[in-house]
Structure 1
Amino acid sequence: MRSLAGLVAIVAAASVHLYLLSTHLPPGPKQPDTEGEDGIEIITMHQFFSPSRLKFPSDLDELRELAEMLKFYNREHHGYVLLLFCSAYLYKQSFAIPGSSFLNMLAGAIFGPWEGLVLACLLTTSGSTFCFLLSSIFGKQYVAHLFPDKVSLLQRKVEENRSSLFFFLLFLRFFPMTPNWFLNITCPVLNIPMPIFFFSVFIGLIPYNFICVRTGSILSEISSLDDIFSWTTLAQLLAIALMALVPGALIKHYSKAHLKVDGMDRNGTSQAGIEQDRKRR
């Protein structure tokens, strides 16, 4: 009970921090008055960038709207936007909240493809490590109790691949048979060493982060259908496809010869586990 209270306190403190960041905005830049001196009111960023519109995006329309606001605000307050983005990203990753793909695309739209990629990789790894630590300190017994079949299956596969543990974790990141957030909270239960966990996240999610960040960067530059079929956009889409296929193919080739992943499906369960669930029902 004490561990649960500690976790609630940390979540509450992080939530208050994120709320204060999103509501106490520094003075924003003014939108240019394109009509000259005709008495038209100049719209300030505080009017355009209202705190009520600051929320985690759940679809592409919300993503584009939020990206436009943050890009405009980023002109004079890069440090603030960076702090806000990092805080929001770490909040999601640390507390195992799904939806990092939209934040990766947001990073590409706001900060560009390369700064966005570096940010996404660092924040993914840091947030996943925080999640690992929180699970290790507060939640190991709850994870094993709530997901007994999935934890049991992963434990068995970890033991079977103990000699190639790093590459097994890379395989699970490249081919998510179980969600990344679930791996983050389960690895402490499986006694995965933190250095192996840390570098498997950092390296294993580079292709995924690259795809999302590049997609966000392209979406922010597209204003019409003609832009989609330009040579530049097509070349970038081809690069994204290659980045997704080549590392995955190499890991899959290695896994066939060295890893034991039979019996796992894309949800991290086994056929035996499914049959057990049916019998319980």
Structure 2
Amino acid sequence: MAPVRIVIGRDEESAVEDSPTPKKPIRVESRVSLTKWEATAAAAVFLIFSVGLVCIFITMPEAEYDKILRIPRNLSDLRVLKDNLAMYARDYEAKFILGYCSIYIFMQTFMIPGTIFLSLLAGALFGVIKGVILVVFSATSGASSCYFLSKLIGRPLISWMWPEKLRFFQAEIAKRRDRLLNYMLFLRITPSLPNTFINLASPIVDIPFRIFFLATVVGLLPASYITVRAGLALGELKSVRDLYDFKTFAVLFLIGFISISPAILKRKRAYG
């Protein structure tokens, strides 16, 4: 019996592009098409995460939850939240960190925007060193969860959302199989591709998890440091765009090019 499929979007023909690799080319679709099993599995994962998150918060010490259980959407919200959380985070640090990491991982796993505000909050509440550790741990855990979730249901979703970008990514990965870690580090350090796209697309183009994980842990350090450090001066920050000005982008790209320089030198020696 053919699998039951749940289709969302326009009913158009799917395009199949030639691939530069001997692997089966990625089928790029113009609609989201999930089997009944995939949709059920995705709903189950979301439910498990949600229940776990609720269980964490109902076991935390009492507080004025209407003031602290808020996801900030702008800097004004973030400043208010920081003021409301400062004493709570100091008095119940371990439980607060557990709740913080849980929210961050949940948002990263299910591609919910707003994690940059949580990164700023980590700097404002915990300082640079502890803040960077928290952000990198949470972001890497969330990215890893997203990687495995995408492996389960991500192919039709990303083919529908970013078809051209997926083709480009597949071709670039195919050309760099022998130096994949350097390339993934470059992508993580620089804003060349959105992190959400990288998390979703990596299992689709067969990037091994060990390379994905190592590139994520190391590659997120520079941007996390910049964001967490900015959180120390939250009151002076006028816009999130101020975090990544031309100078910051230049530094990130410089670090990114340093990360791929060994691969470039190796290639030159091979052809020289």
**TM-score normalised per structure 1:** 0.71
SS at match of 2:233: helix
Aligned to 1:61: 76
Rg comparison, structure with higher value: 1
Is the 1:104–1:216 contact (alpha carbons within 8 Å) kept by the matching residues of 2? yes
Tell me the CA shift for residue 90 of structure 1: 0.4
Question: Identity over aligned residues, as a percent?
Answer: 31
SS of the equivalent of 2:90 reads coil
Check if 1:9 corresponds to 2:44.
yes
- Distance (Å, rounded) in 2 between the aligned partners of 1:2 and 1:121: 33
- Out of 251, 254, 257, the residue aligned to residue 252 of structure 1 is 257
Partner AA of 1:82 in structure 2: I
**Mapping of 1:38-187 within 5 angstroms?**
46=63, 49-51=64-66, 54-187=69-202
State the match for 1:218 in structure 2: 233
Contact 2:190/2:256 (<8 A) preserved? no
Q: C-alpha distance in 2, partners of 1:139/1:158?
A: 18
- Of Structure 1 and Structure 2, the greater strand share is in 2
Bigger mean CA deviation after superposition, 181-190 or 243-252: 243-252
**C-alpha deviations, 1:42-81, integer Å up to 9, x for none?**
xxxx4xx333652211111111111122211123211221
Which structure 1 residue ranges, 5 or more long, are not aligned? 28-45, 229-239, 260-281
Matched, 1:209 2:224: yes
TM-score (norm 2): 0.73
1:6 CA displacement: 1.1
Corresponding position: 1:190 with 2:205: yes
Say if 1:70 and 1:81, in contact at 8 Å, map to a contact too: no
| Separation (CA, whole Å) in 2 of partners of 1:257 and 1:119 | 30
Partners of 1:53 and 1:76 lie apart in 2 by 14
Tell me the CA shift for residue 153 of structure 1. 1.0
CA RMSD of aligned residues (A): 2.8
Q: Are residue 200 (structure 1) and residue 249 (structure 2) matched?
A: no
Q: Quick one: which amino acid aligns to residue 207 of structure 1? A: P
Unmatched segments (≥5 aa) in structure 2:
1-35, 238-244, 265-272
Distance 2:117 2:137 in 1: 16
